Amino acid sequence: MVAISAWETSIQTDLSLPGAHVSGCAHVSRCVSALAALFISTFVTLTLAAGAGGIGQIKTAKGQVTVERQGAFVAAGVGTQLQVADVVRTGADGSVGITMEDDSLLSAGPNSALSIDRYAFDATTHQGRFDATLNKGTLAVISGRIAKQSPEAMTVRTPTAVLGVRGTEFVVSAND
């Protein structure tokens, strides 16, 4: 904000030169202030949106892979950031590999639907909580730091079972 104020001052100084109308400087000042507010607002919004998505990332994607987020379906590819409440879906020709913030590795096969129900991770203490639901399809998991720190802190649900993670690797299948 100091830089903007200094810039506004230099504009006022420049407009105060002989032959310039000082009345225009208030208008320029308002415009600069409005643009600064818009820039700051946009920056904060983009920063919050980026921070909200930081729980995991798609590392591999083959065939049809989509992410359902707040009712909208988005084609997902390598680099797509995941958020809590996302549903990752694969088509008949699809598969997806996901790396979570705690280094958990998830791999979903064709015709799968995986919901990220809950995710919290403290990178310093490695404590957190990770709950997911495999609604259909297949899922292979190599647990990360959350489950290594506290095995009961990770669960995977299916339509017929709840799996508490006690080891480091497992595969689960949920049929329609």
| pLDDT at 148 (0 to 100) | 93
Q: Which two tokens stand for residue 54?
A: 């930081």
pLDDT of residue 53: 53
Give 109-157 as a DSSP string: -TT-EEEEEEEEE-TTT--EEEEEEEEEEEEEEE--HHHHH-GGGEEEE
Q: What is the pLDDT of residue 54?
A: 82
Domain layout of the chain by residue ranges: 2-52, 56-174
Between the alpha carbon of residue 41 and those of residues 5, 48, 51, 53, the distances in Å are: 17, 11, 15, 19
Neighbouring-strand partners of residue 7? none
Contact 97, 58 (CB under 8 A): yes
pLDDT at 32: 38
How confident is the model at residue 44, as a pLDDT? 32
Which parts of the chain register pLDDT below 70? 1-53, 167, 176
Beta strand pairing call for 162-164 and 154-157: antiparallel
Helices (H), the chain: 2-15, 23-52, 145-149
Residues 6 or more apart whose Cβ sits within 8 Å of residue 94: 61, 62, 63, 64, 65, 110, 111, 112
pTM here is: 0.70
